[in-house]
Amino acid sequence: MPKSKFNMLKSQLLKITEDYGSPVYVYDAEKIASQYKRLTDAFKDVKHLKINYAVKALSNISILKLFKTLGSGIDTVSIQEVQLGLAAGFLPEQIIFTPNGVSLAEIEEASKLGVQINIDNLSILEQFGTKHPNVPVCIRINPHVMAGGNSNISVGHIDSKFGISIHQIPHLLRIIENTKMTINGIHMHTGSDILDIDVFLYASEILFETAKQFKNLEFIDFGSGFKVPYKQGDIETNIEELGKKLTRKFNAFCKDYGKDLILAFEPGKFLVSESGNFLTKVNAVKQTTSTVFAQVDSGFNHLIRPMFYGSHHEIINISNPNGRERFYTVVGYICETDTFGNNRRINEINEGDILCFKNAGAYCFSMASNYNSRFRPAEVLWYNKKAHLIRKSETFDDIIKNQVEIDFKKEKVLTN
């Protein structure tokens, strides 16, 4: 963890909790911009590069607008994300719709809005192609490659629900021939943790082989899954090396294909994970017979990744950064086990201190819920050395507004 960069912001982070309360998510726009630049720099030798930020990682409209200023497009997985993208000012042609398991009706709705459709299922492809043979579509291929990580996040393997298997290409080609539809893009997304560049390059070879069978391609989309470090010593996707190696293969492919295609990516985590800090206040320090718990004013309702995926988020006591280090188990206030970090070495914690969770940009707020009838927290974007509130904390009205009360006085009382 580059501490210097972090320390620069520590006093600002404390000020933000004073101004906006706790818990609160804070995103550093500069970090997002520098990750975006790192990616585009790594592929600078590709003639037509297109980055489509994966909205589901962090879907606040101000974050989407920030990506628009950077020149990014967006990758969406629901019609609501498409609508959010349009509301943020993206043009339909800057949006790709890459859902899984949605209805034909939802795909048609997105198509009507003019966004690029990406289909990952032969049944839907056949129906869509029959009804709309003039709408060019992209197809999501499953190359059956395990790109590392655990089975929850490696979506390329044989039993995955994602993509059209490469073994089904003959059927796919028959559908295209019968419907006379046009395939303008070919796509893969092999999962959320690319540990090994060679595995990624191997999958890309399969994609190139497949691509040769389609004559009207405009782009090849290599998805994402780039890994960022969550703790010291973590493996990180070497994007610069991947850039060099994939660029060489891609440019060679385009030469053979006879056309300069667009090389597309759709990263979420890589672009926003490290920009995020989640700030919580310590409600209680509780000593048991075996451990010292620090209990913060949050839980897996706000940050589910540690409980859901076993993810490691660094936890730093920004109120007492020079205090003596001790071991703590950091937990939340939910009436259920909600451990954020087990047996962590943290600068001495006092009640009222602010703990900062690192890597809180991707899949943190966007997976938050109202469990225990708690409010979802505010979000702040640190931009141009100023804090900008980009989402207010919820209020009781948000909890109650869609609930419908039955007037039991007017009903017969249930008896047993």
In the complex with ligand PLP, the residue whose CB is nearer, 139 or 294, is 139
CB-side exposure of 323: number of CA atoms within 13 Å? 16
3-state secondary structure 241-303: HHHHHHHHHHHHHHHHHCCCCEEEECCCHHHHHHHEEEEEEEEEEEECCCCEEEEECCCCCCC
Shortest Å, Cβ 162 to ligand PLP: 8
In the complex with ligand PLP, the residue whose CB is nearer, 236 or 398, is 236
Shortest Å, Cβ 362 to ligand PLP: 6
CB-CB contact of 136 with 118 (8 Å) = no
In the complex with ligand PLP, the residue whose CB is nearer, 148 or 268, is 268
Catalytically annotated residue among 138, 254, 335, 356: 335
In the complex with ligand PLP, the residue whose CB is nearer, 193 or 338, is 193
Shortest Å, Cβ 252 to ligand PLP: 25
In the complex with ligand PLP, the residue whose CB is nearer, 94 or 98, is 98
Q: How far apart are CA 283 and CA 298, in angstroms?
A: 10
Q: Is residue 355 helix, strand or coil?
A: strand
Residues near ligand PLP (CB under 6 A) are 54, 56-57, 75, 77, 98, 189, 192, 223-226, 266-270, 362
Shortest Å, Cβ 100 to ligand PLP: 7
Is 335 a residue of the active site? yes
Shortest Å, Cβ 398 to ligand PLP: 26
In the complex with ligand PLP, the residue whose CB is nearer, 82 or 330, is 82
* Closest-approach residue to ligand PLP (CB): 268
In the complex with ligand PLP, the residue whose CB is nearer, 89 or 101, is 101
Token pair listed for 383: 């931009």
Shortest Å, Cβ 55 to ligand PLP: 9
Nearest to 9 by CA among 246, 217, 245, 316: 316
326 burial via Cβ count (<10 Å: 0-12, 13-18, 19+): middle
* Phi, psi dihedral angles at 346 (to 5 degrees): -135, 145
Alpha helices in 113-262 (DSSP H): 122-131, 169-179, 197-211, 239-257
Give strand pairing partners of 264. Answer: 50, 221
Q: How far apart are CA 238 and CA 49, in angstroms?
A: 18
Shortest Å, Cβ 74 to ligand PLP: 11
Nearest to 169 by CA among 135, 214, 203: 214
Q: Is residue 163 helix, strand or coil?
A: coil
**Rounded to whole angstroms, what are the CA distances from 241 to 30, 187, 245?**
23, 21, 6
Active site residues: 335
